[in-house]
Amino acid sequence: MATVSAPNQWILNVPTEKSRVFRRALSALATAGTPYSVGGGLALYYYTGISREAHDFDAHMRPSDVEAALRALRAAGFEARVKHAGWLAQAWLDNVQVDLVFGQGSWHDSVTDSWLDGPQTSFFDHLVRIVPPEEFFYSKAMRCSRMRYDAPDLFHLLAAAGDQLDWDHLVALFGDDWEVLLSHLIMYRYVFPSLRRVVPDRILDELLETLEQSRTSPQSVRVCRGTLLDTSGPYRQDIDERGFIDDRVRRWQQRRAAEPALRRLETLSANPIRLERS
């Protein structure tokens, strides 16, 4: 069993067989020179001290850096491919998985430079950056499905580090999805009432004012945004039979048109052999 020390001296246990693969992945990414930040369970542990079994290793990177990272991992002995063109590539060795996360699971947004500017720490003798806490919150906030609901991680982050967040930046990350942020902040107050003051009053006031203004705005187009929260299918009937526009599809099309790297990853997802031959 290997251990990883964070600056606060907490200890995270990683099974030996996984630590060996993680080390190899870190070396491969260093060789590729692709900037990335570490998310998932390690980021949760770094910010909150909550330790979970390390199922996999999450590296967040820009879409334009994914192909180089995949090639470096292949050269290091991993199998690797683009799994979902909108957000995820994967590599695995000896049944241990490395996720290259380049977008939101709802396909509506990409990893950008701000994701790569988090705190630094040592992880298996490699200096790595952790996903900034605001981006970590944002990355999990849209997971509100029947199969996966990550709100507890958000609440633990707020309880541990809410008074250190750049709240204006967090609000900006959500943009038009501000209602999702507001819903989580209200639920957080319910879960941890004695710690509710970590959320600045002005942030709640601004979001509630936006809510009030939206009540008198003209009715929006017949859109369903449920697919941005749950991709497992509960909103298919609304789209297929009830005439709602699938906002997830609309946003993916806009994002794909604006980012050439996504079109390349889409090609590699449909035809992985091109990665092997290029």
Nearest CA-CA partner of 25 in 82, 62, 61, 70: 70
* Tokens at 147, concatenated: 């199969």
Residue-level pLDDT at 12: 66
Q: How far apart are CA 184 and CA 65, in angstroms?
A: 32
Residue-level pLDDT at 135: 97
Residue-level pLDDT at 9: 42
Nearest CA-CA partner of 133 in 195, 47, 197, 200: 47
Q: What pairs with residue 99 in β-bridges?
A: 58, 90
Q: Which residue type is seen at 170?
A: L
Q: Which residue type is seen at 232?
A: S
How many Å from the N-terminal Cα to the C-terminal Cα in the chain?
Answer: 38
Residue-level pLDDT at 215: 87
Please, are residues 60 and 102 in contact by the beta-carbon 8 Å criterion?
Answer: yes
Cα maximum dimension of the chain: 59
Q: How many helices (H) and strands (E) does the chain have?
A: 12, 11
pTM across the whole model: 0.91
pLDDT in tens, the chain (278 residues): 333 445 544 456 777 788 899 999 999 999 999 999 999 999 999 999 998 777 789 999 999 999 999 999 999 999 999 999 999 999 999 999 999 999 998 899 999 999 999 999 988 889 999 999 999 999 999 988 888 889 999 999 999 999 999 999 999 999 999 999 999 999 999 999 999 999 999 999 999 999 999 988 877 789 999 999 998 899 999 999 999 999 999 999 999 999 999 999 999 998 876 666 45
Q: How far apart are CA 72 and CA 23, in angstroms?
A: 14
